[in-house]
Amino acid sequence: MSGSAPGPPALDFPGAETPARQYDLDANGVRIAVHEWGEADAPPLLAVHGGFDFARTYDLFAPRLAAGGWRVVAWDQRGHGDSEHAALYSWDADMRDALAVFDHVAGTVGGRNGHFTPLPVVGHSKGGALMTQLADAQPFRFRALVNMDGIPYKRNIPDIAEHERTKMLSDDIASWLDHRRRTADLQRKPGTIDELAARRGRMNPRLHVDWLRRLVTTGGFESADGWRWKIDASMRFGGFGPWRPEWTLMRLPGLPMPFLGILGAEMEEMGWGTPPKKVLPYMPLLGRCEVLDDVGHFVHIEQPQLVADLVLDFFGEPA
């Protein structure tokens, strides 16, 4: 574990707070940046960000959880935020990095010597899906799990002829391979804070422009030719592979720990496009799902206090 040098101050946004502590962990040779809000000796609560996000996207939400008496611990997944740009990325690698953080945090509250300390965990989007799978594989690590709009349902495959579908797959694969051939020298496109905020706004149209501008100053860096997002330029949306979203959904009913799903009713580009009525039958025995009307994929940013109150009530007293 080592300390991270503080970056430039973030732009102000009402209710947003810079983490109280930042440090690095060595996750099997990959440097993972960890951010904490709340008192250093408060009981820990893990917060896992979504794909193409970073831990500081919890600047609004985490302080509200910390106000409930928790030490909120979030980390930048490899290639995201302040963590190392790794040579390889995969679901399993993200899971392994997560375990390094779990082990570290559990170790700070007496979870060593062969005993796992179950922790409360909240994950958004991809972070929610990752944690749902980990909760299925290693339930002893979880005291309770909150999944915020991270319940994959199934692929959005348009109703088209077979040959058209094959053509789409062909184009997807060729586009991905073309991208891979270019990544050796690739950099994110520079711009002003407003330009980067506008780009992000196209993916997050429901979020306030001042929040997006702040995101540039927490998830980006400034160099001579302007601001760039910190995320590894080799990463991109889309792609292909054998994994199917519904395989995560199948893991839900068997989860043994208390489970809370929080879904935004408004479908958005960065979301999974999961219709709430499709996932409700999959709730585990100790699970329930809250559907927030007129809220999009980023439930914790659009309605930070409402969602924090739901989560605090669900987790109960910090202990």
Minimum distance from residue 118 beta carbon to other proteins (Å): 16
Minimum distance from residue 2 beta carbon to other proteins (Å): 16
CB 42 within 8 A of CB 70: yes
DSSP conformation class of 282: G
Minimum distance from residue 248 beta carbon to other proteins (Å): 8
Should residue 140 be labelled a site residue for other proteins when binding is judged by CB under 8 A?
no
Question: How many Å apart are CA 57 and CA 33, to the nearest integer?
Answer: 14
Evaluate the CA torsion angle 80, 49, 129, 278 in order and state its sign: negative
Should residue 160 be labelled a site residue for other proteins when binding is judged by CB under 8 A?
no
Should residue 317 be labelled a site residue for other proteins when binding is judged by CB under 8 A?
no
Should residue 166 be labelled a site residue for other proteins when binding is judged by CB under 8 A?
yes
Torsion of CA 317, 34, 139, 136, to 10 degrees: 120
Should residue 28 be labelled a site residue for other proteins when binding is judged by CB under 8 A?
yes
Question: How many Å apart are CA 293 and CA 226, to the nearest integer?
Answer: 38
Should residue 78 be labelled a site residue for other proteins when binding is judged by CB under 8 A?
yes
HSE (CB half, 13 Å, CA atoms) of 150? 25
Question: How many Å apart are CA 23 and CA 116, to the nearest integer?
Answer: 22
Minimum distance from residue 121 beta carbon to other proteins (Å): 15
Question: How many Å apart are CA 195 and CA 203, to the nearest integer?
Answer: 13
Among 25, 30, 74, 295, binds other proteins (CB under 8 A): 30
Question: How many Å apart are CA 294 and CA 180, to the nearest integer?
Answer: 38
Subset of residues 198 to 257 that bind other proteins, contact rule: CB under 8 A: 234, 239-244, 247, 250-251
Is 8 or 239 the residue whose CB approaches other proteins more closely? 239
Applying CB under 8 A, which part among 16-24, 114-122, 145-153, 162-170 lies near other proteins? 162-170
Applying CB under 8 A, which part among 17-25, 92-100, 292-300, 306-314 lies near other proteins? 92-100
Question: How many Å apart are CA 255 and CA 287, to the nearest integer?
Answer: 9
Copy the structure tokens of residue 137: 């594989």
| Chain contacts with other proteins (rule: CB under 8 A) | 27-30, 78, 85-90, 92-93, 95-97, 99-100, 133-134, 136-138, 163, 166-167, 169-170, 173-174, 176-178, 180-185, 234, 239-244, 247, 250-251
